[in-house]
Amino acid sequence: MLKDEVRTESYRDAMLKNRHIFKDKIVLDIGCGSGILSMFAAQAGAKMVIGVEMSSIMDYTRKIVKANGFEDQIVLLHGKMEEVKLPVDKVDIIISEWMGYFLLYESMLDSVLWARDTYLKKDGLVFPDRAVMKVCAIEDGDYRKEKIDFWDNVYGFDMKCIKQTALLEPLVDTVENDAVITNQSELYNIDIRTVKVEELAFKKDFKIVFNRDDTCHAIVVHFDTIFDHGLDTKIKFGTGPDNEYTHWKQTVFYLNDIMRVTCGDTLTGTISSKPNAGNPRDLDITIDYEYNCKGTRVGGSQFYRLR
């Protein structure tokens, strides 16, 4: 993630280009990892930065913070956010790089929201303060043929039962922008300042418009991360096919139906997501979709598990 320049430089710019926001403030860094964001906050003028990390990387974080001369400014706590005891009652700013694949897969947003409700001052800030999930559709016949339709005929044998398993798991990979055959439509705009944990299990409508005659094989979800509330210099970075590469890539959901589509027509539906009952780290995702072309309806409901 440190080599992900889009991610790291966006956080750096959000802090260093808004130094007046951080001057003499108390900052909480949730999931501080190597300490890079904590050190940016210290550089921006924070009076105290509290870095919380539950993994064993904390052994290195302490050395990194000391090696860079921030040991008097940055307090490091090893443990789970919900279990550690902060040295202060309230903080002015919360920073965290909590986003996961499909934005919410294995993310730390639950912990960020808990800390927001427990420790953030009434007029405090959250970095980032907004995330927007987006959806589009792609033509991707070569990959589908190689990885999914392969099971239709394996050396002359019918193995379609495995094909259904292959369709069950979304693909996290880089989508070429020229494969995109629709506009990019907003799916879910999440305000990190106010959203509740229970709202992270969602069902949202989408409507996307095809921009050329082609074949539709899959729906793609990606997201934008935004730092803007109360800031003079606003920062945003995207993780879509038309954006610079990030380690989040995009999440691709291959459809049962292969649809010949016409420029100007629409694909509509809903995308719902909730934690898996048996393993809350996993996400159960359902996509309902419908395409009408010249009186012919194509569509259905498809279940996926992101794990």
pLDDT tens per residue across span 238-247: 999 999 999 9
Question: Does the pLDDT of residue 274 top 90, yes or no?
Answer: yes
Q: What is the pLDDT of residue 2?
A: 83
From 101, 78, 145, 63, select the one nearest 283 (Cα to Cα). Answer: 101
Q: Are 240 and 18 in contact (CB under 8 A)?
A: no
Question: Does the pLDDT of residue 84 top 80, yes or no?
Answer: yes
Q: What is the pLDDT of residue 182?
A: 98
pLDDT tens per residue across span 95-111: 999 999 999 999 899 99
Q: Are 215 and 258 in contact (CB under 8 A)?
A: yes
Q: What is the pLDDT of residue 255?
A: 95
Q: Are 98 and 130 in contact (CB under 8 A)?
A: no
Question: Does the pLDDT of residue 294 top 90, yes or no?
Answer: no
pLDDT tens per residue across span 11-66: 999 999 999 999 999 999 999 999 999 999 999 999 999 999 999 999 999 999 99
The residue from 82, 97, 139, 290 that is catalytic is: 97
pLDDT tens per residue across span 182-197: 999 999 999 999 999 9
Cβ-based neighbours of 280, under 8 Å, separated by 6 or more: none
Q: What is the pLDDT of residue 15?
A: 98
Q: What is the pLDDT of residue 169?
A: 92
Three-point CA angle 190, 112, 197, nearest 5°: 55
Helix-, strand-, coil-residue percentages of the chain, each rounded to 5: 25, 40, 35
pLDDT tens per residue across span 160-219: 999 888 899 999 999 999 999 999 999 999 999 999 999 999 999 999 999 999 999 999
* Mean pLDDT score, 217-231: 97
Question: Residue 229 has which token pair?
Answer: 């509330």
Percent of the chain surpassing pLDDT 90: 91
Q: Which amino acid is at 223?
A: F
Average pLDDT, the chain: 96
Question: Does the pLDDT of residue 114 top 90, yes or no?
Answer: yes
Q: At 292, is the pLDDT very low, low, confident or very high (cuts 50, 70, 90)?
A: confident
The residue from 9, 106, 169, 176 that is catalytic is: 106
Phi-psi region of 66 (alpha: psi -120 to 50; beta: other; left: phi over 0): alpha
Neighbours of 199 (CB within 10 A): 12
Torsion 29-31-36-37 (CA) sign: negative
106 catalytically annotated:
yes
Q: At 118, is the pLDDT very low, low, confident or very high (cuts 50, 70, 90)?
A: very high
Instruction: Enter the pTM of the model.
Output: 0.95
Q: What is the pLDDT of residue 307?
A: 92
Q: What is the pLDDT of residue 297?
A: 83
Q: What is the pLDDT of residue 154?
A: 94
